[in-house]
């Protein structure tokens, strides 16, 4: 009987917390503190990376800074691992993720996606000396990619992209030996060692490959893009007001041309417009 009041109290507190979250607790915290904590990757150029000045830089970083600016808040970047971010239930450790995440039904069980801010092609790269000239040439071969990514799901032939505006695609690589890395950039470090030394190919974002080639990696892109990803700003479940606010901000950034400008700055092409 003595446990009844504490238990009832805990239930009431829980209900209040849920109510507050739904009423905009995270947004209220951002607006009152004038600070927003945004999670992203520190090693995924040109989306996000640490530049020569030891500062966060890249397309996703610029998008995050613009969102923070329009919230009248100072941005603080943190760089948790991808699997921790996609697991949801952030418990206030950060407020938002701007890191090129593809919204899927599975991820939507633990996360919310207020707005898609650009679309990128997923592609396949091999070593420059490789004789493989088409995507299906990697059937049964050693293929690397980032763990927990849509690229890994593609190789497993279990990828479903159910976000609005995503073109249909086919699985073109059969029964590869999948080698998963912390990021696809790390996979490229193995591919650059030579054709078939550790990997025969890598699946990742086309901009990542183009950046690597520009930085001297001896790789080449083969075939056409294997699928196109809509990539979204991500928040934890439970704050409908923050969801609406971010959706409104990203819509405005699209309408006034800022997203297009940032895409051209970092990629040389407009990935912010649906093709």
CATH number of the domain bearing residue 205: 3.40.190.10
- CA dist 2 → 9, 172, 181, 224 (Å): 12, 63, 52, 68
| pLDDT, tens only, 131-189 | 999 999 999 999 999 999 999 999 999 998 877 667 789 999 999 999 999 999 999 99
| pLDDT, tens only, 37-94 | 999 999 999 999 999 999 999 999 999 999 999 999 999 999 999 999 999 999 999 9
The pair of structure tokens assigned to 243 is: 């969801």
Distance CA 116, CA 193 (A): 36
Q: In what order do the strands lie in the sheet with 177-181?
A: 74-78, 35-39, 96-101, 219-236, 111-127, 201-205, 142-146, 177-181
Q: Between these two residues, 63 and 22, which has the higher pLDDT value?
A: 63
Instruction: Indicate whether 223 and 252 sit together in one domain.
Output: no
pLDDT at 17: 41
Task: Say if residue 12's pLDDT is above 50.
Answer: no
Of 189, 157, 194, nearest to 172 (Cα)?
157
Label the pairing between strands 177-181 and 142-146.
parallel
Q: From start to end of the chain, where are the E strands? A: 35-39, 43-44, 48-50, 56-57, 74-78, 96-101, 111-127, 142-146, 177-181, 201-205, 219-236
Which residues span the domain enclosing 185? 120-229
Instruction: Indicate whether 207 and 249 sit together in one domain.
Output: no
Run of H or E including 264 = helix 258-267
Sequence-separated (6 or more) residues with CB below 8 Å from residue 41: 47, 48, 49, 60, 79, 82, 99, 183
pLDDT at 106: 85
Instruction: Indicate whether 224 and 240 sit together in one domain.
Output: no
Q: Enter the pTM of the model.
A: 0.74
Q: Which residues pair with residue 233 across a beta bridge?
A: 115
Q: Mean pLDDT over residues 105-116, rounded?
A: 92
Q: Note whether residue 13 is domain-resident.
A: no
* Other C-beta atoms lying within 10 Å of the C-beta of residue 162: 12
| pLDDT, tens only, 232-270 | 999 999 999 999 999 999 999 999 999 999 999 999 999
pLDDT at 161: 83
pLDDT at 254: 96
Q: Note whether residue 273 is domain-resident.
A: no
Q: Note whether residue 126 is domain-resident.
A: yes
Q: Which of 70-74, 107-111, 161-165, 225-229 has the lowest mean pLDDT?
A: 161-165
Q: Between these two residues, 23 and 260, which has the higher pLDDT value?
A: 260
Instruction: Indicate whether 37 and 85 sit together in one domain.
Output: yes
**Overall number of domains in the chain:** 2
pLDDT at 275: 57
At 106, is the secondary structure helix, strand, or coil? coil
Q: Between these two residues, 163 and 209, which has the higher pLDDT value?
A: 209
Residue 116 CB burial class (10 angstroms; 0-12, 13-18, ≥19) = buried
Of 54, 207, 58, 63, nearest to 125 (Cα)?
207
Q: Note whether residue 12 is domain-resident.
A: no
Q: What is the mean pLDDT of the chain?
A: 90
Instruction: Indicate whether 109 and 38 sit together in one domain.
Output: yes
Task: Say if residue 23's pLDDT is above 60.
Answer: no
């Amino acid at each position: 009987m003595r446990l009844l009041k504490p238990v009832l109290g805990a239930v009431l507190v829980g209900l209040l917390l849920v109510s507050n979250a739904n009423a905009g607790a995270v947004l209220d915290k951002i607006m009152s503190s004038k600070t927003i904590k945004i999670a992203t990757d520190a090693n995924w150029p040109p989306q996000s990376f640490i530049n020569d000045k030891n500062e966060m830089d890249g397309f996703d970083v610029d998008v995050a800074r613009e969102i923070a600016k329009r919230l009248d808040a100072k941005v603080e970047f943190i760089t948790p691992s991808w699997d921790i971010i996609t697991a949801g239930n952030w418990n206030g450790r950060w407020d938002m993720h701007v890191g090129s995440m593809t919204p899927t039904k599975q991820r939507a069980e633990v996360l919310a996606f207020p707005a898609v801010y650009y679309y990128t092609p997923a592609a396949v790269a091999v070593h420059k000396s490789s004789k493989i000239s088409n995507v299906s040439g990697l059937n049964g071969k050693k293929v690397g990619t980032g763990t927990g990514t849509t690229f890994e799901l593609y190789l497993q032939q279990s990828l479903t992209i159910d976000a609005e505006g995503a073109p249909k695609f086919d699985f073109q690589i059969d029964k590869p030996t999948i080698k998963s890395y912390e990021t696809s950039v790390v996979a490229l470090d193995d591919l650059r060692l030579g054709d078939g030394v550790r990997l025969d190919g890598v699946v990742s974002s086309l901009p990542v490959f183009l950046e690597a080639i520009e930085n001297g990696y001896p790789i080449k892109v083969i075939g056409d893009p294997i699928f196109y990803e809509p990539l979204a700003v991500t928040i934890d479940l439970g704050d409908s007001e923050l969801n609406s606010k971010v959706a409104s901000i990203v819509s405005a950034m699209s309408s006034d041309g800022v997203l297009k400008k940032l895409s051209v700055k970092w990629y040389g092409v407009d990935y912010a417009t649906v093709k």
